[in-house]
Amino acid sequence: MTHKDLLWKLAYLAISGGVFMIDQTTKAWAARSLRFNGDMPVISGFLNFAFAQNPGVAFSMFDQQGDSGRWGLSAVAMVAGILVLFFFWRTPRSDDRMLGSLALLLAGIVGNLTDRLRLGFVIDWIDVQFGGWHYPTFNIADCAICIGAGLLILDLFFSKKKEAEKAETRAAGSVPQ
C-alpha cells in the first residue's frame, strides 16, 4: 500500500469517526432533552424526536434476552466490526463505493456497540410515522448502517454488471470475423 493510499483510507476512517461522534452527540442530546421532557414534534404527524431505550437489535428484536443478550449482542457487534475493518483494509483504494460503505457500517456498528456496552441498551430517538404507519424509532448509527448496507448492495450489483460487460467484451474480441 502506498503512502497516498494509506492517507485516503485514513480519511475514510476519519469520516467514520465523525459519523460516530455525531451519533454519540445526538444520543446524549436525546437522553438529556427528551428522556424527561417528553417527545418533541418536528413535523406534525410525520417526524418526532422521542427517547427510546432499545435493548435488542433492529426493530427491538431480541429485546427480552436480559443481561446475557446484552453481552451476546455486543460480542456479535464486535465480530462484525472486526470483519468490517478486515475488509476495509483489504479493499483497494480505487473502490470508493466499497470503502465508503464499510466506513459507514463501521461507524454505525461502533456507535450502537458503545451504547450497548456503556448503558446496556441503545438509545433511539428519531420517530417517523405516516398516518397509521409507524416506523420503529432509530438513531444516526442505524442510518449509517442502512446507508452502508445499501451502498454494499449497489456495489455488488454494479461489480457483477461490470464483470458481465468485461466477459462480454472478451468474448466478442475472441470471435473470428
- The residue annotated as part of the active site, out of 23, 115, 127, 142, is 142
Alpha carbon distance 76, 56 (integer Å)? 12
- The residue annotated as part of the active site, out of 115, 124, 127, 155, is 124
Phi/psi of residue 124, nearest 5 degrees: -115, 150
Alpha carbon distance 81, 100 (integer Å)? 15
Q: Is 142 labeled as catalytic in the residue annotation?
A: yes
Q: Is 5 labeled as catalytic in the residue annotation?
A: no
Alpha carbon distance 148, 152 (integer Å)? 6
**What is the Cβ-side half-sphere exposure of residue 105, based on CA atoms within 13 angstroms?**
24
* Amino acid in the structure at residue 92: P
Q: What are the cell numbers at 39?
A: 417527545
With beta carbons less than 8 A apart as the criterion, state whether 145 and 105 touch.
yes
The residues that are catalytic are 124, 142
